[in-house]
Amino acid sequence: MWRLAFVLASSLISLSESLNNRPIIGLLTETTTRFPGHQFYLAASYVKYIESAGARVVPIMLNWTSEELSTVLSSINGVLFPGGGQNLVTSRYFEIAKQVYQHSINATDSGQVWPVWGTCLGFEALNVITADENVLYEVDAENYSIPLQFTEDFEQSRMFKDCPSKIIQILRNDNVTMNNHVKAVSPTNFSETVALNNFYKVLSVNKDRKGRSFVSTMEAYKYPIYGVQWHPEKNIFEWIASEGINHSSNAVLVTQYMANFFVSQARMNDNHFSTSEEEDKYLIYRYSPIFTGENVKSSFEQCYVW
């Protein structure tokens, strides 16, 4: 049933009247000790990234009960796991990510399209969840903007099959994918881990500064689950001078395409809150970001904190 629903939904992507034009995306918050008096944070660049593609944001709080989390997941249209620094064994971030992952599988199996996206740490979390073991190894890829090295049949993927050729060429030739990680999944480990190889299609690989290979882009074969080891949101929304982020017009096009793609997946889902008052209770609009630039030793220009 899920396969028929997924194929039919994909064929309707250009028919806006059949899609949800008020999508809401959940963003996982993260624990922090960097901001005195606050426990959780969310980089504002991820919020702006989602909003730039015409969706709204609900911050998924790490102190929610299972019941509240379940209620919200059934009322929104997808979730993004942001990058950052959280333990992928014991953290609440990881615990909730596993629940969100399973929600996407259950929803899709029941006939919905309910997408999940992982960026950097979120990408790593998807791999660890699917493999049910630590499949990561150390790489030298912090503050590292590079082109993608696409796999042979990447254009058969959902993520890139409708991508304009200009953006493909930018991704292939320009330093527009900002990496900022010290862990990754090697292509060899990926292919030898049956749970990963059977679940995800690798769309690109890259090498770190020391020539060590890592998987950089992937999507699930049967489910609307996507992951990038790099940071598409940074090209437009992060400006810390110490980071070598590409802010060129070509880099901006890449960010816009990736945001639009993920939100287009969420538009295939018609979940909604039971009332407008309930919706307003959870939307990010209730909160204001604070400046968190280099004067507080943060790699983010702005963050929401709780």
pLDDT in tens, 6-64: 544 444 444 456 899 999 999 999 999 888 899 999 999 999 999 999 999 999 999 99
pLDDT digits (tens, 9 = 90+) for 223-257: 999 999 999 999 999 999 889 999 999 999 999 99
Residue 50: which of 217, 232, 216 has the closest Cα? 232
Short-list 56, 8, 46, 74, CA closest to 232: 46
Residue 38 annotated among the catalytic residues of the structure: no
Instruction: Give whole-number Cα distances, 106 to 6, 109, 137, 180, in Å.
Output: 13, 5, 30, 32
Catalytic residue among 38, 163, 231, 272: 231
Residue 34: the pLDDT is: 84
Q: Which CATH superfamily is domain 2-9+24-305 in?
A: Class I glutamine amidotransferase (GATase) domain (3.40.50.880)
Residue 137 sits at φ, ψ, to 5 deg, of -140, 165
Where exactly are the structural domains of the chain? 2-9+24-305
Exactly one of 38, 103, 120, 303 is catalytic; which is it? Answer: 120
Confirm whether 120 is a catalytic residue. yes
Minimum mean pLDDT range among 95-99, 122-126, 218-222, 299-303: 299-303
The pLDDT value given to residue 297: 65
